[in-house]
Amino acid sequence: MKAAIAFFAFIACAAHLFGQDVVGHWKTIDDASGEAKSIIEIYKDKDGSYYGKIVKLFLEPNEDPDPICTKCPNDDPRYRKKINGMTIISSLEKNGTEYAGGEIMDPENGKSYNCKIWTEGADKLKVRGYWGFFYRTQTWQRVDRY
């Protein structure tokens, strides 16, 4: 019995030390208002890389219920495409406890940034977009239902 308890304690500690899986649904929070903005589904593709797509938008009653990306650059394949369902995180590779080497795109301004993500516990995801030495980090919250 003691061996089983020690084994499960080891597994719990190892999961904490080596990071939680990022696959799942995450609620994004607006930096300025603190309000929920969207739900992002992060998934592992058949190529082994990690991607994130918008699966739900939290919109104000007066906003377009099915907006398109008008801020994306004209040469971006996402230009004038629906934001709901849009892939905004691409080509992340797992490296230890972080997932990096890919990009994140902000549909509000159409700009893409280098990206890395990592978990803090089971329910918080740190998402960092950076350009050179400048970066911004957001904390997203894991959700089961949305």
E strand segments, the chain? 24-29, 36-44, 50-57, 87-95, 98-106, 111-120, 124-131, 134-143
Q: Is the pLDDT of residue 40 over 90?
A: yes
Which structural domains are found in the chain, ordered by start?
2-143 (2.40.128.520)
CB-based contacts of 73, cutoff 8 Å, min separation 6: 79, 110
At residue 32 the predicted structure's pLDDT band, cuts being 50, 70 and 90, is: confident
- Give the per-residue pLDDT at 19: 53
Burial 58-75 (b: 16+ CB within 10 A, else e): eeeeeeeeeebbebbeee
The mean-pLDDT minimum among 1-5, 49-53, 64-68, 81-85 falls in 1-5
User: What's the rounded Cα separation, in Å, for the pair 94 and 91?
Assistant: 10
More confident residue, 60 or 2: 60
